[in-house]
Structure 1
């Protein structure tokens, strides 16, 4: 039986402070943002905190087998051997030190379509972790059946679309991609997009899939890989990201800040982008994520959490908005998890 994930809490959390009256401008261009100005200067809506006790939940991290686990039971995919430790005990240690209560585990490319390791962790820690499986766009359609099995049998509650796993001459809007995206909506699980080479390359695919399947929730990993713009192309990417807010089903992960910032920790140059995201999407459609374990050599796991507070103070965000971003949004989206003491 499919588990529905559509949010049941309906609250207007677009806290449109004075910061929202001005669009975020690139040093080199402003034309891409003029269409957003009217929307951003709309009357302020009431900002409410979640109606439950919010925990700190990481919306994006990975785990993989230790070398010993890989040798014994969970082999790495050939050519994808990790260069960092990422076993679950290592993760839990860092979560405890940082005061993080739970997380969404995204299936790593290191094990590709073999989900057995992550599945074992989900079963061992059912109240701590939720799983996001990896979509297999095999041309024979076998990935659709695998998706159904992972969700209905193994309990995964999200799926990741990696466009670079599709055949090089095909898009995520091919027949297989459309079928999997539609199936995700039918099963009530969000689809995460990993636009590693830039949102501009994939924006038309995402828009088409959202338009054709408004019931399928979308998660944009790592700010859709948009960076604080200094070129017209970068400004267009940020514009495309903000305009995706017109689709109510789209959420943004404020994750892997080290990947999208031009600065070192605490990544203060992301302040303006976060401000505009809150103005356009609302804090209840934004969620923090670390991108563990890749974040460890960058600023550490605890630093990943602290950076968001630093940036939020610069915006500034209200305490309720920060509460949504640090846990309220993902708890609302994946209802029934992380609610126990």
Structure 2
């Protein structure tokens, strides 16, 4: 059992521009000691720790946590892909075996066409050279650009975070539905069943999320989906327990082997191997 998407942060670091008192329940430190009891309660043996700040310093901070927290199997970090020395930075960070991927925070960038920039090509080449996964954090409006990006870099392993963040609070399925199907047609792309409760209204339930999860399952199949909590961002929309229960409900029709893949096997296969820490 692997939680394929979780975060840690410390407010005193000062590199989380979005983390202000207005963030409410998220405006405090979250560390391994907070998550560990939740993992134990659900029999989860490992996690993928994902960046939340657009600094290399935060990536190194997360790698240090990962060295001390055995349940962290790998870290998805951050590099400025447009920096002239991006390839060098990636090669240097890739010297840390627990770095398994990188995530530019496309959803927060002013340029909606960032994924199509030519000057990120050296960074992508460096990722491929070092066997790193590209985590795509995008909004629905970015999905057509992501399709073009996938076609430009067909050898790059990509995982789409949070199901492409559909507008669940508005009950909107289109054009997200068609764009997701187009992305799923690119076979080297996986998708995380994570962050969906955060995109819904406060009174969400498994029924609210079902049309979206059913579509992800239909186009990606259980061999290319991975479950993640998006904790502690999740706490804005519910508890670890409620999201885990909802996910078990939503994916309850899968065969045991398929369920095992979504709830851990796919994350291990996609992120871990030569890089990362094998689950115990």
On whether the aligned pair clears a TM of 0.5, the verdict is yes
CA distance in 1, matches of 2:42, 2:130: 33
| Matched-pair contact (CA < 8 Å) for 1:161–1:194 | yes
Q: Equivalent residue for 1:108?
A: 52
Q: Corresponding residue for 2:203?
A: 264
Q: Note closer, same or farther for the CA distance 1:129–1:265 as it changes in structure 2 (3 Å cut).
A: farther
Find 2:163's aligned residue among 223, 241, 251: 223
Deviation of residue 340 (structure 1)?
5.1
CA distance in 2, matches of 1:250, 1:169: 20
- 1:177 matched to 2:120: yes
Higher RCO, 1 or 2 (CA under 8 Å, sep at least 6)?
Answer: 1
Superimposed CA distance per residue, residues 111-146 of structure 1 (whole angstroms, 9 cap, x where no aligned partner)? 7331232011121235633100113134x4233322
2:242 to 300, 303, 309: 303
Match of 2:266 in 1: 329
Larger radius of gyration between Structure 1 and Structure 2: 1
Distance, in Å, in 2 between the alignment partners of 1:170 and 1:144 is: 21
Q: Distance in 1 between matches of 2:16 and 2:135?
A: 24
The SS at the match of 1:64 is coil
Q: Name stretches of at least 5 consecutive residues in structure 2 with no aligned partner.
A: 21-26
1:79–1:269 CA distance, 2 compared to 1 (3 A):
closer
Match of 2:101 in 1: 158
Q: How many residues align?
A: 270
Does the Cα contact within 8 Å between 1:266 and 1:311 map onto a contact in 2?
no
> 2:225 matched to 1:280?
no
Once the two structures are TM-superposed, the CA of residue 329 in structure 1 deviates from its matched residue by 0.9
TM-score by length of 1: 0.71
Deviation at 1:170, TM superposition (A): 5.6
Structure 1: how far apart are the matches of 2:18 and 2:199? Answer: 23
| C-alpha distance in structure 2 between counterparts of 1:182 and 1:307, whole Å | 38
TM-score when normalising by structure 2: 0.85
Q: Distance in 2 between matches of 1:80 and 1:91?
A: 21
Listed as ranges, the gaps of 5+ residues in structure 1 are 1-55
Q: How does 1:20-169 map to 2 (within 5 A)?
A: 56-65=1-10, 70=12, 75-77=13-15, 79-81=17-19, 83-109=27-53, 112-114=55-57, 115-126=59-70, 128-138=72-82, 140-153=83-96, 155-164=98-107, 166=109, 168=111
Structure 1 residue 244 displacement after superposition: 1.1
- CA-atom RMSD in angstroms: 2.5
Asked if the contact 1:312–1:322 (Cα under 8 Å) also holds between the matched residues in 2, the reply is yes
Are the equivalent residues in 1 in contact too, given 2:163–2:216 (CA < 8 A)? no
CA distance in 2, matches of 1:218, 1:257: 19
The answer to whether the 8 A contact 1:61-1:105 is kept is yes
